[in-house]
């Protein structure tokens, strides 16, 4: 069969690499892909942007693609799944109305409160009905969020209520474009952050292996927020007890709520959670796709056929299968370009990529091929991912591979996995 993957990051390289291992798959296409997907056996790039829905449908029809998997959120939020289905094509990912769970924070907060799913207390404003006096009467800190997609930058934690008023006004005046026309202001929650990622199909939920990412750019969780500087799986923060509570208090009411609202969900569903000291799993956000970089270590550990998982998801038979996981730990270190997360340097030649082993895989993200050489083409360049018998071994293997890679200005954290090591000692 032929599989098409939409997107160009490390997540898409990992999905393409894993899909190509399925004995049922003859060819994987990635639109638009990167240098890593271009060089992968049985994988080829297609020069179509991941959000050019009309061109993607034309390509999928012409090539008789059997299954399309959507990596990033933007195509989902603009309705790529709806367009594929209307053309009689099978596409794994939520339809436009279900993808609002990521596309609109105001929609999600209303959904959560309507279905009594734990989340921070909140209020929603537009410029027209903004009530600065109400905001000043709240207890700080407050969290101000742009409603729409803002590439992970639309959340501002404010230490004072005055800061919250200014943050909301900056959003109304166009700081994040139309994404900031509506603003959610919510209570600041304390606790431990965790993510929970599942394959969902209607009422069926197949949780994937647990994972934890590292959002800050620098060691010790310092420096600016990023798309993610590394991840590992499994993550000890999600204990069996928390797992049970998340299923019962978040995932099950969410998928049932979506069905009751007439927008049943098929796809990856990623809940960003703040686990309160009493164990309550508060929802901070939903993502309607797999995480990047969490996908990379999770795919290293997946022993089951990835394409089977998607097919059961689309066919509504997810309850008939289970996913099988490698017992080892997988850990991925993101190697970023100079300047990231601001304006990254581009065009630097990357060396040291031709290392192959059963335990380590270099997933590409912002890379392209120029004059036969692999060069950097954006902020997060690579995710070097390795397996090991425990976190320390996986860490050692991943950093040994990173040490062989070079490009000018490369930066990476040296402490990916430190939470797990602390948890083990504690």
Q: Does 52 bind ligand AMP (CB under 6 A)?
A: no
Dihedral sign from CA coordinates of 60, 63, 67, 69: negative
If the CB atoms of residues 4 and 143 are measured against ligand AMP, the closer one turns out to be 143
CA atoms within 13 A on the CB side of 327: 1
Considering the complex, state which of residue 1 and residue 123 has its C-beta at the smaller distance from ligand AMP: 123
| Region for residue 81 given its phi and psi (left: phi exceeds 0; alpha: psi -120 to 50; beta: otherwise) | alpha
CA 347 – CA 377 distance, rounded (Å): 6
Q: Is 223 in the site for ligand AMP (CB under 6 A)?
A: no
8-state DSSP, 356: -
User: d(Cα 63, Cα 82) in Å, to the nearest integer?
Assistant: 19
Q: What is the footprint of ligand AMP within residues 296-335 (CB under 6 A)?
A: none
Contacting range for ligand AMP; rule: CB under 6 A; set: 87-95, 160-168, 188-196, 304-312: 188-196
Decide if residue 186 touches ligand AMP (CB under 6 A).
Answer: yes
Give whichever of 221 and 415 is closer to ligand AMP, judged by the CB atom.
221
Residue 284 within binding range of ligand AMP, rule CB under 6 A: yes
Q: Which is nearer to ligand AMP, 141 or 257 (CB)?
A: 141
Nearer to ligand AMP, 313 or 341 (CB): 341
**Segment 116-135, which members bind ligand AMP (CB under 6 A)?**
120
Q: Quick one: which segment of 106-114, 180-188, 294-302, 348-356 binds ligand AMP (CB under 6 A)?
A: 180-188
Q: Is 143 in the site for ligand AMP (CB under 6 A)?
A: yes
Among 155, 276, 321, 423, binds ligand AMP (CB under 6 A): 155
Q: Measure the CA–CA gap between 240 and 249, rounded to whole angstroms.
A: 14
**Do the bridges between strand 367-370 and strand 43-45 make them parallel or antiparallel, or are there none, so unpaired?**
unpaired
Stretch of 184-192, 309-317, 328-336, 399-407 lying at the interface with ligand AMP (CB under 6 A):
184-192
Q: What is the pairing mode between strands 27-32 and 2-7?
A: parallel
In the bound state with ligand AMP, the residue whose beta carbon lies nearer, of 51 and 285, is 285
Among 202, 272, 316, 352, binds ligand AMP (CB under 6 A): 272
- Three-state DSSP string of 144-206: EEECCCCCCCCEEEECCHHHHHHHHHHHHCCCCHHHHCEEEEEECCCCEEEEEEEEEECCEEE
In the complex, the smallest distance separating the C-beta of residue 50 from ligand AMP, rounded to whole angstroms, is: 21
Compute the distance between CA of residue 66 and CA of residue 317 in angstroms, rounded to an integer: 18
Of the candidate residues 163, 285, 359, 415, the single one contacting ligand AMP (CB under 6 A) = 285
Single out the residue of 145, 150, 125, 149 nearest to residue 135, CA to CA.
125
Interface with ligand AMP: number of residues (CB under 6 A): 13
Rounded distance between C-alpha atoms, residue 230 and residue 235, angstroms? 13
Comparing CA positions, the residue from 105, 72, 281, 108 lying closest to residue 194 is 281
Q: Which two tokens stand for residue 408?
A: 């000018």
Report, in Å, the least distance between residue 155 CB and ligand AMP. 4
Task: State the DSSP string of 23-35.
Answer: TT-SEEEEEE--H
> Of the ranges 185-193, 330-338, 372-380, 398-406, which one interacts with ligand AMP (CB under 6 A)?
185-193
CB of 122 to ligand AMP, least distance (A): 8
| Residue 183 touching ligand AMP (CB under 6 A) | no
User: Are 330 and 233 within 8 A, CB to CB?
Assistant: yes
Contact flag: residue 185 with ligand AMP (CB under 6 A): no
* Contacts to ligand AMP by CB under 6 A: 120, 143, 145, 155, 186-189, 193, 272, 274, 284-285
């Amino acid at each position: 069969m032929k599989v098409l993957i939409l997107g160009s990051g490390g997540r898409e390289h990992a999905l393409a690499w894993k899909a190509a291992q399925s004995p049922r798959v003859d060819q994987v296409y990635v639109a638009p892909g990167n240098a890593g997907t271009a060089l992968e056996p049985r994988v080829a790039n297609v020069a179509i942007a991941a959000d050019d829905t009309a061109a993607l449908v034309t390509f999928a029809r012409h090539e008789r693609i059997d299954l399309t998997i959507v990596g990033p959120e933007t195509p989902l939020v603009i309705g790529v799944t709806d367009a594929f289905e209307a053309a009689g094509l099978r596409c794994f990912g939520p339809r436009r109305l279900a993808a609002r769970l990521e596309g609109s924070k105001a929609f999600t907060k209303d959904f959560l409160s309507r279905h009594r799913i734990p989340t921070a207390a909140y209020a929603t404003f537009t410029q027209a009905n903004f009530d600065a006096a109400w905001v000043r009467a709240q207890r700080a800190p407050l969290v101000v969020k742009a409603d729409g997609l803002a590439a992970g930058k639309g959340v501002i934690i404010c230490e004072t209520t005055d800061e919250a008023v200014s943050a909301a006004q900056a959003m109304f005046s166009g700081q994040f474009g139309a994404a900031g026309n509506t603003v959610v202001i919510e209570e600041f929650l304390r606790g431990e952050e965790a993510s929970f990622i599942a394959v969902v199909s209607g009422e069926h939920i197949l949780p994937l292996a647990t994972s934890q990412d590292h959002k800050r750019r620098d060691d010790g969780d310092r420096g600016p927020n990023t798309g993610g500087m590394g991840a590992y799986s499994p993550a000890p923060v999600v204990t069996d007890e928390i797992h049970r509570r998340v299923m019962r208090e978040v995932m099950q009411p969410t998928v049932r709520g979506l069905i009751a609202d007439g927008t049943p969900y098929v796809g990856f569903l990623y809940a960003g959670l703040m686990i309160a000291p009493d164990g309550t799993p508060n929802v901070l956000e939903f993502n309607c796709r797999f995480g990047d970089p969490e996908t990379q270590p999770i795919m290293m550990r997946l022993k089951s056929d990835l394409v089977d998982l998607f097919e059961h998801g689309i066919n509504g038979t997810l309850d008939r299968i289970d996913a099988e996981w490698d017992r080892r730990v997988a850990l991925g270190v993101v190697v970023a370009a100079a300047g990231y997360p601001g304006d990254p340097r581009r065009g630097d030649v990357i060396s040291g990529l031709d290392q192959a082993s059963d335990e380590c895989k270099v997933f590409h993200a912002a890379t392209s091929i120029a004059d036969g050489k692999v060069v950097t083409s954006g902020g997060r360049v690579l995710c070097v991912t390795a397996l090991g018998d425990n976190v320390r071994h996986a860490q050692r293997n991943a950093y040994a591979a990173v040490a062989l890679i070079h490009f000018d200005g490369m930066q990476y954290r040296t402490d990916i996995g430190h939470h797990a090591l602390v948890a083990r000692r504690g």
